[in-house]
Structure 1
Amino acid sequence: MSAAASARSILTGMHEVMASRMHAQGKLDRVAEIVSESLDSEVCSIYLLREGQLELFATKGLNQSAVHVTRMAIGEGLTGTIAEKSEMLNLAEARSHPDFLYRPETGEEKFHSFAGVPIVYRERVVGVLCVQHVEPRRYEDVEIEALQTTAMVLSELIAHNELIDEEEALALGRYGTEPELVSGLTLVKGLAFGNAVFHQPRVEIGQVVAEDTEAERQRVYRAFDRMREQIDAMTVQVEFGKGGEHEEVLETYKMFAYDEGWSRRINEAIDSGLTAEAAIERVQQRTRMRMREIDDPLLADRMHDLEDLSNRLLRIVSGQIGTAATQGLRRDSILISRNLGPAELLEYDRRRLKGVVLEEGSLTSHVVIVARAMGIPVLGRVGGLRGRIREGEELLLDADQGVVTLRPAAPMIDAFAARTAKSREKRAAYAELRDVEPFTRCGTRIVVMMNAGLRDDMSSLQLTGADGVGLFRTEFQFLVSASLPQRERQTRLYRDVLDIAGSKPVVFRTLDIGGDKMVPYLRSDGGPREENPAMGWRALRLALEREGLLKVQARALLEAAAGRELNVMFPMVSEPWEFDAAKDVFEAQLAFLKSRKKQLPDAVRYGAMLEVPALAEVLDQLAPRLSFLSIGTNDLTQFLFAADRADPRLAGRYDWLNASILRFIQRIVGSLIGYDVRLSVCGEMGGRRLEALALLGLGITRLSITPAAVGPIKELIRKVDLNELKPAMQAWLASPPESMRDELTRWASERDIDIE
């Protein structure tokens, strides 16, 4: 029997039960019988959340004396685990699961197989629906889907019969009254103060079981047409101009709106007997469950796009159209959402929208690309926020530090306002340095460049007065695309970047993708799952294997730089032959263009990223072939210490001012003496004032940092005398103090150099 047929059989019986004048307990007893019979299962049990515990409310197959007697805490036993994690369990042998808990009063000892699904009401688990069987077997997918559909209908039956405490369902605890600091993941930096606004008012589904299946199908078709019209209109009304990465994001988003597989799944749910609204919600629940199982952040982001569209479709079909955006923001607001699609963010009034806090979200998500272009700070991974605050409460968003303050007290608001004002003052002071060249007090010119990855980032070049772009991450264009960007599109991006830069240099880093930045269209078939993707098949390793990929990028870069200077940098070079092989690809494309009488770049300079420590041991071999070398401190640090920088347990363990790192950089500086190689440092280390001070003391004279750090680092440079700093650094590294950070801080303080 198909999933739709199984569900239809159950829903037909449930429809009769819900329409009957039977009391609530009798309805639940009858539902347990219907599910048991339809799935040919010997046990069906319904547990409901009551006073913080799961209570056995109805059963077919277990001892009736256990009803209203058997109770389990959230997280206790298999049933409690389902409720705690809001995830399905399907076990051939229940006792083999580590969370199995035997309750003798139920008489369940003879049953081996077990399957259960959460009963969810208004995004909160309010119960669990379970089935069991004597013979050990895993339940079929069609049976699980039928259970999930049943649980959805059950949630409405339970709520309408007041079998759950709605306040308890929405939040097991009460809203707090005291200030609370909640940490998250910084997605877009910035400070913001405003009132909490929930992005998505709940769409109430009044009827779950369909009266007329064909009528429901037509309602969905009409809703799809209207949703697609909205998305089409939005893609031509974006205000950032033509050709930005945000445009590619919206094109990917549009692709999902026209996805036939999605509409087919909703149709199948309607076939099972659900209304249009319930069918969309059913497919959306399935999407959420899949998202929990996805390790790949890029695929997860695409699932978030699909959920965003599901929310839009649900509002259209229900007639409950409107997010907080369409209702209008009446005051400065911080938007709260589980996740957010790029199209929905664009609907908000930018004058009132001050910040965004997401319960999910990731650094590579599409909404981050658009938020950065809009200049809106975003904090992600702040779980369960909607259950902890009321709409309209004041919030302090500090996306620089990765925290949001709930219910701030008046002194906290005053301090935040003072900090915001001070930040504005500092930015104004740094802006005055835009056209000032950064010379040290002893007269050494330090080159301060910026990192970029989007066309929209390039506006910061003029705003900050950076000397150029020391690192342009070309992979961003690939990360936001649904398919491999064609050569013409790559060429257009690179040419635009060079046009904006004008006479200032731009260093293009070739594709650093793969490992933890894999995209679906470049996924290798059948390859083993990488246990440590940061040290896996990524960057130049992947590009040399898929030479066609590097050839296309080489051609695009060479054509874009026609009549200009081109600086190309290869990432994650481990051995000299890798650099040579990558350079050969570019030289071959250069020869091809020359043979076709195409205009060529005036000069092509090749460089490498030093991220893999092994490369430092063979610099004497590689240096004669290099025009420039850039030390990538982010990856270098994790490789030196064998410490995954994405692991929060290790994130703060290894200090950039550790003697090991500083001595390593000192050795690189020394090994390049006598070679005509420009040495720079790119990464977060160079953008922090105290760390930048250490780098200057090591002899580093070129930095490539985030645009926001350019002004502060320029200001720092003008206060430093290298004739004092360098000898001090040499002494400290010869005999490292207990804390290099403390020594540098003391040294700076004595010279009135602010290192914050």
Structure 2
Amino acid sequence: MSAAAAARSILTQLHEVMASRLHPQGKLDRVVEIIGENLHSEVCSIYLLREGMLELFATRGLEQSAVHVTRLAVGEGLNGVIADRIETLNLAEAAAHPDFAYRPETGEERFHSFAGVPIVYRERAVGTLCVQHSDPRRYEDVEIEALQTVAMVLSELIAHNGLVDEETGALGEALSGPQMVTGLSLVKGIASGVAVFHQPRIQIDQVVADDIEVERQRVYLAFDKMRDQIEAMASQAEFGTGGEHDEVLQTYKMFAYDEGWSRRINEAIDSGLTAEAAIERVQQRTRMRMREIDDPLLADRMHDLEDLSNRLLRIVSGQLGTAATQGLRRDTILIARNLGPAELLEYDRRRLKGVILEEGSLTAHVVIVARAMGIPVLGRARGIRGIVRDGDEVLLDADKSIVHVRPAQQTLDLFVDRFARTRERQAAYAELRDVEPFTRDGTRIQVMMNAGLRDDIASLPLVGADGVGLFRTEFQFLVSATMPQRERQTRLYRDVLEAAGDKPVVFRTVDIGGDKAVSYIHSEEAENEENPAMGWRALRLALEREGLLKAQARALLEAASGRTLYVMFPMVSEPWEFDAAKAVFDGQLAFLKKRKKILPEAIHYGAMLEVPALAEVLDALLPRISFLSIGTNDLTQFLFAADRANPKLAERYDWVSPAILRFLRRVVLAVEGSGVDLRVCGEMGGRRLEALALLGLGFRKLSITPAAIGPIKELVRKVELAEIGTAMTGWLHSPPPDMRAALQQWADERGIETD
């Protein structure tokens, strides 16, 4: 018997049970008999989550006296593992599994084989369904798939037939009181708003199909409509104006036409499921596979498939649109399992105040974009979608890695006070917008901003920055499913330059690879890198893939026609790398000259000092460049051999340490008198205490996030450079036990506020 036939036979009988007038317990008792008989299994049991424990609710084959007596903690025993990990187990010898937990009251000692699947409702395990047999054997794939399909129907049976008390039972997320959830801070900041689900929940009201052919036609029509939508969006979208998501759709198109995916949905319909239930059934299987995938690139592709499944499910159910397409009406904290950078960029930035992810990592592309947008993000908030409800009030404190759901009044009052103080500071900073940042002894400090999106340039006049010291061109590559075409790049760069007006914009050539991997550029060696941050990335990748750099060089040169162009190469290790990159630009410049194109009025080339080795050959590099930017994020992790994405090493990643400050001072001295502009470009310059240290070292140009411009301007106006310079020279000569504490004390004594 095929999986579909086995499942259909069971579903037909289950449909009758659900429609019967049996009481809830009677329905479950009948269900285990039906499953056991059809799968020829001696034991069939159902465990449901009640009061935080898995309780044996019904069984065929085990001792009936154990029903409502045997209980397991989530994670305890085989059923506990299934519920905790939301995964399937198929064992020839159950007792040999390290998590096996014997319960003598069940009489299960005579049974050897075991297979169990989670009962999932709203993406949470609310119970388990398992079968056992006295012979040691693994269950066939046909039987496992039948169990998985039946478990899905059971979840609806539980939901709609009151099989457990909703206040305390398996579906017991009917929470009304305050809740606090911890997570991993991905982008710091605090925010408040109402909870909005990125993918509003779709209720599947009917699971078992009345007519299989009707359901099949519904899926075919939904596939056609979905493909038409994706084709239409791919042809209309523009980077920066159409949600910056158009090229992501190229990946979606690949999945949308995948025969294997549509075949699996058809097989689920064959088993007796409605179109909606069949799509959800295949999606559940995808989620289980995702949990087993260690490869981040493959996991990202599975995430794309899930996004597409949600789109198909919305079309077939008539419940169209995400929260982004429906529009945000109030200040919002977005709730999602995961999120792509293009999806984030679809949201109204005026209303989107924060993001909470059940998954997420420090190196995810969405985090890079969210940081540039100034949106706090909390990741690894396990179970958040089961705790929060749409419309709940949420306080996000990504500084402390916590989120308050339906906060108590006392918690709310504390947050209100914090927001009030923040608004007061922001108002004071806003008054400095048009004020030039001179130190107390009359030195003008140049304060520029970092950007990566076209919309970021609108912040230039609002914050009073001197220009854009770093435009991260890789954002366009990160939100694309295919290599951005040269024309598209040219359009973006031209728009950025026009929006900036007469203020300079420094374009950093593409910095992808490593922790910013893109699916359309593959390298077998890179995919197996143990230390991707120190591997095939940035300029190294661009020089090897010369076509990539050529296209970008020409795009920048054409975009800057008649203007001054500033180009910066990332992760330069030795002078020859700079020479090789500049040669690509020279080649494209000659190409454009030959075709009588309008050229940039002037071109200034610079390098980023992120690799410590470059500091040892600055004497050779300086005559070749106009400016040098120190990238403090990568530089520090390389100097300390401490991965900045590893929370366990956070304490070792201290910018105010003698090792870092002495290194930076050596660079200042090496550049002095060369005529090369020296600046710091990174998070270090945007923190007040760290910026104070940089001023003391001799830095006079900083490029930082837009939000940090006001605070740093205010700091600059309180500092006397000669005084902090003398103090810093003394500390570097004879470092105090705690450099940070010494600098903080120095600032406190002079009434200089730090972060």
* Bin of the TM-score, shorter chain as denominator length: 0.7 to 0.9
Q: Does 1:244 align with 2:244?
A: no
C-alpha deviations, 1:365-402, integer Å up to 9, x for none?
78879989998765544333344456655433445665
Task: Trace 1:531-546 onto structure 2 (pairs within 5 A).
Answer: 531-546=530-545
Q: Which residue of 251, 256, 259 corresponds with 1:259?
A: 256
d(CA) in 2 for partners of 1:691, 1:373: 20
d(CA) in 2 for partners of 1:179, 1:664: 46
- Residue 561 of structure 1 is matched in structure 2 by 560
The alignment partner of 2:433 has SS state of: coil
- Larger deviation, residues 365-374 vs 746-755: 365-374
C-alpha deviations, 1:716-753, integer Å up to 9, x for none?
11221111111100111111112222221221222222
Quote the offset at 1:472 in angstroms: 1.3
Contact 2:185 2:400 survives alignment (8 Å): no
d(CA) in 1 for partners of 2:300, 2:420: 35
Contact 1:234 1:343 survives alignment (8 Å): no
Q: Does 1:477 align with 2:476?
A: yes
The alignment partner of 1:522 has SS state of: coil
- Residue 665 of structure 2 is matched in structure 1 by 666
Contact 2:50 2:170 survives alignment (8 Å): no
Quote the offset at 1:174 in angstroms: 7.8
Contact 2:244 2:346 survives alignment (8 Å): no
Quote the offset at 1:212 in angstroms: 0.1
Contact 1:296 1:516 survives alignment (8 Å): no
- Residue 281 of structure 1 is matched in structure 2 by 280
Quote the offset at 1:84 in angstroms: 1.7
d(CA) in 2 for partners of 1:323, 1:621: 54
The alignment partner of 2:419 has SS state of: helix
Task: Trace 1:148-159 onto structure 2 (pairs within 5 A).
Answer: 148-159=148-159
- Larger deviation, residues 166-175 vs 540-549: 166-175
The alignment partner of 1:616 has SS state of: helix
d(CA) in 1 for partners of 2:343, 2:486: 30
- Residue 129 of structure 1 is matched in structure 2 by 129
- Residue 722 of structure 1 is matched in structure 2 by 721
- Residue 731 of structure 2 is matched in structure 1 by 732
Distance 1:125 1:345, change over 3 A: same
Q: Does 1:491 align with 2:487?
A: no
Distance 1:132 1:644, change over 3 A: farther
d(CA) in 1 for partners of 2:30, 2:389: 38
Distance 1:74 1:674, change over 3 A: same
Task: Trace 1:508-587 onto structure 2 (pairs within 5 A).
Answer: 508-525=507-524, 529-587=528-586
Quote the offset at 1:592 in angstroms: 3.4
Quote the offset at 1:79 in angstroms: 1.2
The one-letter amino acid of 1:248's match is E
- Residue 8 of structure 2 is matched in structure 1 by 8
- Residue 218 of structure 1 is matched in structure 2 by 217
d(CA) in 2 for partners of 1:162, 1:148: 21
- Residue 271 of structure 1 is matched in structure 2 by 270
Q: Does 1:601 align with 2:597?
A: no
The one-letter amino acid of 2:124's match is R
C-alpha deviations, 1:258-307, integer Å up to 9, x for none?
81335554333222210122123223323433443455667656655654
Distance 1:532 1:213, change over 3 A: same
- Larger deviation, residues 442-451 vs 688-697: 442-451
Distance 1:427 1:543, change over 3 A: same
C-alpha deviations, 1:466-489, integer Å up to 9, x for none?
222221111111111121111111
Contact 1:49 1:55 survives alignment (8 Å): yes
The one-letter amino acid of 1:54's match is L
The alignment partner of 2:711 has SS state of: helix
d(CA) in 1 for partners of 2:248, 2:299: 14
d(CA) in 2 for partners of 1:115, 1:350: 48
The one-letter amino acid of 2:504's match is P
Quote the offset at 1:33 in angstroms: 5.2
Distance 1:328 1:693, change over 3 A: closer
Contact 1:182 1:406 survives alignment (8 Å): no
- Residue 441 of structure 1 is matched in structure 2 by 440
C-alpha deviations, 1:103-127, integer Å up to 9, x for none?
4555655666543221123443221
Distance 1:181 1:164, change over 3 A: closer
Task: Trace 1:29-428 onto structure 2 (pairs within 5 A).
Answer: 31-32=31-32, 34-36=34-36, 43-59=43-59, 67-91=67-91, 94-95=94-95, 97-104=97-104, 106=106, 108=108, 114-132=114-132, 143-169=143-169, 175=175, 177=177, 180=180, 182=182, 185-187=185-187, 192-196=191-195, 202-223=201-222, 243-244=239-240, 247-250=243-246, 252-253=248-249, 256=252, 259-261=256-258, 263-295=262-294, 303-304=302-303, 307=306, 310-311=309-310, 313-314=312-313, 317-318=316-317, 334-338=333-337, 355-360=354-359, 379-389=378-388, 393-398=392-397, 403-410=402-409, 412-428=411-427
Distance 1:723 1:138, change over 3 A: farther
Contact 2:268 2:281 survives alignment (8 Å): yes
d(CA) in 2 for partners of 1:374, 1:541: 28
d(CA) in 1 for partners of 2:297, 2:30: 44
Distance 1:485 1:315, change over 3 A: closer
d(CA) in 2 for partners of 1:158, 1:263: 28
C-alpha deviations, 1:43-79, integer Å up to 9, x for none?
5433223443323344456566655554322111121
- Residue 590 of structure 1 is matched in structure 2 by 589
Aligned residues, how many? 752
Contact 1:253 1:305 survives alignment (8 Å): no
- Residue 709 of structure 1 is matched in structure 2 by 708
d(CA) in 2 for partners of 1:4, 1:674: 78
Contact 2:230 2:252 survives alignment (8 Å): no
Quote the offset at 1:706 in angstroms: 0.5
C-alpha deviations, 1:450-501, integer Å up to 9, x for none?
1111111111222222222221111111111121111111122122222222
- Residue 751 of structure 1 is matched in structure 2 by 750
Distance 1:510 1:395, change over 3 A: same
The alignment partner of 2:128 has SS state of: strand
C-alpha deviations, 1:680-728, integer Å up to 9, x for none?
2111110001100001111112211101111211221122111111110
TM-score (norm 2): 0.87
Quote the offset at 1:328 in angstroms: 8.9
d(CA) in 2 for partners of 1:237, 1:490: 16
C-alpha deviations, 1:320-374, integer Å up to 9, x for none?
6788889998866545454568999899888876555444456787887998999
Contact 1:196 1:335 survives alignment (8 Å): yes
- Larger deviation, residues 304-313 vs 738-747: 304-313
The alignment partner of 1:651 has SS state of: helix
The alignment partner of 2:680 has SS state of: strand
C-alpha deviations, 1:615-646, integer Å up to 9, x for none?
32333343333332221111222222222222
The one-letter amino acid of 1:247's match is G
Quote the offset at 1:416 in angstroms: 3.6
d(CA) in 1 for partners of 2:550, 2:326: 50
Contact 1:514 1:539 survives alignment (8 Å): yes
Distance 1:209 1:253, change over 3 A: same
The one-letter amino acid of 1:210's match is A
The alignment partner of 1:206 has SS state of: coil
Task: Trace 1:496-507 onto structure 2 (pairs within 5 A).
Answer: 496-507=495-506
Quote the offset at 1:153 in angstroms: 1.0
C-alpha deviations, 1:654-682, integer Å up to 9, x for none?
32111111112112222333433322211
Quote the offset at 1:208 in angstroms: 1.3
Quote the offset at 1:23 in angstroms: 6.3
Distance 1:589 1:115, change over 3 A: farther
Structure 2: tracts of 5 or more residues without a match: none
TM-score (norm 1): 0.86
Quote the offset at 1:186 in angstroms: 4.7
d(CA) in 1 for partners of 2:713, 2:197: 40
The alignment partner of 2:245 has SS state of: helix
Contact 1:608 1:628 survives alignment (8 Å): yes
Contact 2:165 2:172 survives alignment (8 Å): no
The one-letter amino acid of 1:534's match is A
- Residue 698 of structure 1 is matched in structure 2 by 697
